Amino acid sequence: MSDVDGRSTTSAQPVDVLARAEAEVLEAGRGLGEGALREVLSLPDSRLPELLDLAHRVRLRWCGPEVEVEGIVSLKTGGCPEDCHFCSQSGLFPTPVRAAWLDIPGLVRAARQTAASGATEFCVVAAVRGPDERLLRQVRAGIEAIRADEVTRELNIACSLGMLTGEQVEELAAMGVHRYNHNLETARSHFSRVVTTHTWEERWSTLRMVRDAGMEVCCGGIIGMGETTEQRAEFASQLAELDPHEVPLNFLIPNPGTPFEHYPVVEGPEALRTVAAFRLALPRTMLRFAGGRELTFGDLGARQGMLGGINAIIVGNYLTNLGRPAGEDLDMLAELNMPIKALNSTL
């Protein structure tokens, strides 16, 4: 026998990790620990269908059949003072992305595009270390305009504006921001190889304040930034400790001009194994397909991911990269008989 983390408790043959996951995650709703996640991430491709099937059943059991659909837009693009090595919006790297500022009518148009896709979530993002007064004024005016528009007024609004002070957290909550995104991006042990201008702990601090203010916490990261399999397991465990409402899973797009521009794209089977492992670490958490999935998975892989633990999706384009048309993802969900979470179920 062995416990859920793979530690041997008797002299008997160790129980297969998926059998343990079936009992602990599927039946009891307890996420796998870091040791067991390492085993899952090391499973051979031949066991991938079995792993994905288990992850899908865990998702259905603990999250239900609905899929949450979200659109995102960049309110302030480029010129960021931080050095996140994956990001084409850092002002410290020679990327082709120029600074841009979306005006309020443009923000409402983006919200309308999101509403037209059937999404319930609209996330407003800015490439900043943290918001200044000008940005917060723009966010406030944008939220008021979205709420005043008959097409977009029902959308749930999330924000991603970097690191916050306690006062800014309270201000955003008072504006009606129901969820705040701030990604830890990668395992704590790998973070300093991805970002040097701030720390993992600073991000953690913002997330705790968001939680304390009563906003939903959205926190995920990017797979494929040179982390080891062990660090992926570590990252999933750290997210489980945080217990966010939502975890967006991105896959690295090696953007030109960034320090990671020559990193290889994560291969499909490895990415699917990662998706399933994160589901087994976070059985009750919303797990969202985010940026890079088109490049990593293609059409077939996206379906496999939706049948391998994912229960939320960003549709349409991303912040600086293009996604596939929202209609293609909605058609896929219809073919998979996966209902889209309705607005009235989130209010």
Partner 1 sequence: MDGTGYCGWCGRPDGACPDRAVCVRRRGTDPPRYCPSCARRMVVQVTPAGWSARCGRHGSLGVEADAPTPPVG
Residues that bind partner 1 (CB under 8 A): 71-74, 77, 96-100, 102, 106, 109-110, 113-114, 116-117, 253, 255-256, 294-295, 315-322, 325-326
| Closer to partner 1 by Cβ: residue 28 or 141 | 141
| Closer to partner 1 by Cβ: residue 164 or 252 | 252
Does 63 appear as a known binding residue? Answer: no
| Closer to partner 1 by Cβ: residue 73 or 159 | 73
Q: 286: how many CB neighbours lie within 10 A of its CB?
A: 23
Q: How far is the CB of 175 from partner 1 (least distance, A)?
A: 21
Q: How far is the CB of 126 from partner 1 (least distance, A)?
A: 13
Residues 11, 14, 15: CA angle, nearest 5 degrees = 135
Nearest to 67 by CA among 309, 327, 322: 309
Please tell me the distance from the alpha carbon of residue 158 to that of residue 181, in angstroms, as a whole number. Answer: 7
Does 159 appear as a known binding residue? Answer: no
| Closer to partner 1 by Cβ: residue 77 or 120 | 77
Beta strands (DSSP E) in the chain are: 68-77, 100-101, 121-126, 156-160, 179-181, 216-218, 221-223, 246-251, 286-289, 312-314
Q: How far is the CB of 153 from partner 1 (least distance, A)?
A: 17
Please tell me the distance from the alpha carbon of residue 253 to that of residue 280, in angstroms, as a whole number. Answer: 25
Q: Quick check: 22 and 214 in contact, CB under 8 A?
A: no
Which position has the token pair 């499973």?
Answer: 43
Q: How far is the CB of 122 from partner 1 (least distance, A)?
A: 8
| Closer to partner 1 by Cβ: residue 24 or 294 | 294
Q: How far is the CB of 106 from partner 1 (least distance, A)?
A: 7
| Closer to partner 1 by Cβ: residue 25 or 253 | 253
Does 38 appear as a known binding residue? Answer: no
Give whole-number Cα distances, 253 to 115, 118, 160, in Å.
26, 26, 19
Residue type, 270: E
Q: Treating both helix axes as pointing N-terminal to C-terminal, what angle do 133-148 and 166-175 enclose, rounded to 10 degrees?
A: 10
| Closer to partner 1 by Cβ: residue 51 or 115 | 115
Q: How far is the CB of 70 from partner 1 (least distance, A)?
A: 9
Which position has the token pair 């959308």?
Answer: 155
Please tell me the distance from the alpha carbon of residue 347 to that of residue 288, in angstroms, as a whole number. Answer: 20
Does 219 appear as a known binding residue? Answer: no
CB burial string 206-242: b at 16+ within 10 A, e below? bbebbbebebbbbbbbbbbbebebbbbbbbbbbbbeb
Q: How far is the CB of 256 from partner 1 (least distance, A)?
A: 7
Which position has the token pair 């042990």?
Answer: 189
Give the residue ranges of the annotated binding site.
80, 84, 87, 123, 218, 288
Give the residue ranges of the annotated binding site for [4Fe-4S] cluster.
80, 84, 87
